[in-house]
Amino acid sequence: MSYKERYHQWLDDNYFDQETKEELESIAGDEAEIEDRFYTDLEFGTGGMRGVIGAGTNRINKYTIRKATQGLANYILKQLERAKDQGVVIAHDSRFKSSEFALETAAVLNGNGIKIYLFSELRPTPELSFAVRELGAAAGIVITASHNPAEYNGYKVYWSDEGQIVPRRAEGITAEIEEITDYTAIKHFNREKAKKEGLFKVIGAEIDDRYIEKLKTLVNNPEVISEIDSDFKIIYTPLHGSGNKLVPRILKEIGFSDVQIVPEQKEPDPNFPTVDYPNPEEKSVFKLALEMAEEEKPDLILGTDPDADRLGLLLRRNDDYISLTGNQIGVLLMDYLLSQRKKQQNLPNNGAVVKTIVTTELARDIAEEYGVGVIDTLTGFKFIGEKIKEFEESNEQEFLFGFEESYGYLAGTFVRDKDAVMAAALVAEMAAYYKAKGLDLYQKLEKLMDRHGYYLDDLESIVLKGKEGQQQIEKILDTLRSQGPKRINGRKVTAVRDYLTGIGDLPKSNVLQFDLEDGSKLTIRPSGTEPKLKLYFTAVGESWKEAENKLSKLKDELLNMVQDII
């Protein structure tokens, strides 16, 4: 069926409501917009679905949500004998239509006889991961678009092991979704009837309490927090998202009494009115927090994205506040947690840190000092969560810490996804610990780099929207595969890894990576959630200045190369 036929089907079929039809009538005559909305189905992948909210098969709306959920229900019922009784946990964040999409998801699952556990209001994504195992559920779904702009929403799926679905499961679910050609065949159940039949259960505070108690078990030095609390101040912003449900609570319950929340960003708001882009990776989102900091002089400024799985921070240095990258926060946390395990003499001989292929190699050098192995996965925290399951089944290694450059961190195994609630507690504890020793986090980072080398990393994203943009992304990667550079920034390319051909035991993925003779590295891949090409840069030097100079030149050269291809 052509995109025009799909468009007219949605306009003419009584299954689609009047609001949807009016939206589609408003774009009549705009061929480019009609094509973009209907030329394909919104892709379901290992991250579930994520897209712009709106009418059409290539948009996220209640109809594409219903279709995805019916496919998921079909898959679950085929894979798990007790799926109906185990149920599915559903959570959502503060985005437009998140609550509505959560209820639509519940109605389709109930229509298939599957019990659901729905959080009473918005909750952090990592708590959804926790709840899946805690309740013994068959799967979990969270309605979120993470840190995307306000016009986006998404649908992220977790399996019974509480980790995000991995490729083989995503492929199975996708196959079931593709079998659905008639929207009217999707099963849909009345909520009141579902409640009477015991298929619809609301959850909330009881799961919060169990999750918080688990988080507290990760704290290493409560006595240090207690001793320094009167001289330690934190400003926190949830960026209008779900973090305010639990981040202030865990900080206070582990001993930090002076935690202030940015008032303008405290309440959930799908417009994210105070920021252009609700992403704690960007220093610009901390503008209001920095204005508060002029008077309050906090030691740390913490921020989480709308679904509270990513944590960014600023730290005070004299009268200024500086940001740390996701890689830098990650290696600091990793070194701190390993050092505490070593101090307590419970660092296992088979311990392992898990990171992604685009995450800093400084982690490997630090881990080696502790006698700990480092395992690389493809980009995406689902692959880190998958490793935890593998370790538990084989007993060959023990998971100690996992992180990725995009501000995601995980300690412990009771959550299987990046967790900003957990990270906020651990970062605050770590900062208090080093402050008691006369150091700030930047000084500690410098000490690590003095010992292991100066690794500086950066990321550039090139936005290429629509069908034409997708073709440009493919052209860039195809050209770099066939005509890849032999030298970059005057350094010889010593290795090229094409993950599309398969590297080791990793799944195939559309990623290219170039190693240079000085230890620098470049990685290129398409985003799995946005219309972007992502370029990762790592420069290694004997000093901060040398690494900065190399990084700048690497970025200029590769970006020029990509622009020439476009």
- Contacts within 8 Å (CB) and 24+ apart, 388-392: 388/163, 388/354, 388/413, 388/416, 389/161, 389/163, 389/416, 391/352
Domain-ending residue, one of 420, 452, 484:
452
The answer, yes or no, to whether residue 60 has pLDDT greater than 80, is yes
Q: Are residues 52 and 91 in the same domain?
A: yes
pLDDT tens by residue, 454-494: 999 999 999 988 888 888 999 999 999 988 889 988 899 99
- The residue annotated as part of the active site, out of 98, 129, 146, 160, is 146
- 103: which 2 tokens? 């209820």
Count of residues making up the chain: 566
Could you tell me the residue range of the domain that residue 5 belongs to?
Answer: 1-39
- From residue 466, alpha-carbon distances to 42, 145, 332, 535 in Å are 12, 18, 39, 19
Pick from 266, 376, 310, 7: nearest CA to 145: 310
Domain-ending residue, one of 436, 452, 468:
452
Q: Are residues 282 and 419 in the same domain?
A: yes
Phi, psi angle pair for 171, to nearest 5°: -65, -40
Which residues, at least 6 apart from 372, have a Cβ–Cβ distance to it below 8 Å? 338, 347, 351, 352, 353, 400
Pick from 432, 157, 409, 162: nearest CA to 280: 409
Between CA 521 and CA 539 the distance in angstroms is: 7
- The arithmetic mean of pLDDT across residues 294-305, rounded, is 97
Q: Is residue 76 in some structural domain?
A: yes
Residue 375 pLDDT grade (very low, low, confident, very high; cuts 50, 70, 90): very high
Between CA 53 and CA 60 the distance in angstroms is: 5
Q: Is residue 213 in some structural domain?
A: no
For this structure, is 146 an active site residue? yes
The answer, yes or no, to whether residue 73 has pLDDT greater than 80, is yes
pLDDT tens by residue, 110-131: 999 999 999 999 999 999 999 9
What's the pLDDT at 31? 96
Q: CA 131, 133, 139 angle in degrees (round to 5)?
A: 85
Q: How many folded domains does the chain comprise?
A: 4
Q: Is residue 216 in some structural domain?
A: no
Q: Are residues 258 and 389 in the same domain?
A: yes
Task: Name the residue with higher pLDDT: 562 or 108.
Answer: 108
What's the pLDDT at 530? 76
Residue 502 pLDDT grade (very low, low, confident, very high; cuts 50, 70, 90): confident
What's the pLDDT at 560? 87
CB-based contact 245:208 (threshold 8 Å): yes
CATH number at residue 517: 3.30.310.50
Q: Are residues 153 and 17 in the same domain?
A: no
pLDDT tens by residue, 164-174: 999 899 999 99
What's the pLDDT at 469? 87
Q: Is residue 178 in some structural domain?
A: yes
Domain-ending residue, one of 452, 478, 501:
452
CATH number at residue 234: 3.40.120.10
Q: Are residues 440 and 535 in the same domain?
A: no
Mean pLDDT over each residue of the chain, to the nearest integer = 95
Which residues, at least 6 apart from 425, have a Cβ–Cβ distance to it below 8 Å? 215, 218, 219, 250, 251, 254
Between CA 48 and CA 167 the distance in angstroms is: 10
Q: Is residue 539 in some structural domain?
A: yes
What's the pLDDT at 162? 86
What's the pLDDT at 467? 80
Residue 439 pLDDT grade (very low, low, confident, very high; cuts 50, 70, 90): very high
Q: Is residue 79 in some structural domain?
A: yes
H or E stretch including 202?
A: strand 200-203
- Percentages helix, strand, coil for the chain (3-state, rounded to 5) are 45, 20, 35
pLDDT > 90: what percent of the chain?
89
Q: Are residues 290 and 316 in the same domain?
A: yes
The answer, yes or no, to whether residue 272 has pLDDT greater than 80, is yes
What's the pLDDT at 195? 96
What's the pLDDT at 483? 87
pLDDT tens by residue, 128-161: 999 999 999 999 999 999 989 999 999 999 999 9
**What residue type is 266 in one-letter code?**
K
Residue 39 pLDDT grade (very low, low, confident, very high; cuts 50, 70, 90): very high
What's the pLDDT at 299? 97
- The arithmetic mean of pLDDT across residues 196-224, rounded, is 97
Q: Are residues 252 and 314 in the same domain?
A: yes
Q: Which position has the token pair 């909750």?
A: 123
Between CA 483 and CA 537 the distance in angstroms is: 19
Q: 371 in helix, strand or coil?
A: coil
Between CA 42 and CA 304 the distance in angstroms is: 27
| Strand 152-159 relative to strand 49-52, pairing | antiparallel
- 291: which 2 tokens? 């204005």
Between CA 188 and CA 88 the distance in angstroms is: 15
CB-based contact 139:160 (threshold 8 Å): yes
What's the pLDDT at 527? 86
Q: Are residues 139 and 105 in the same domain?
A: yes
What's the pLDDT at 370? 97
- 83: which 2 tokens? 């799926």
Between CA 525 and CA 513 the distance in angstroms is: 9
Q: What burial letters (b/e) apply to 128-160, b meaning 16+ CB within 10 Å?
A: bbbbbbbbebbbbbbbbbbbbebebbbbbbbbb
Beta-carbon count within 10 A of 196 CB? 10
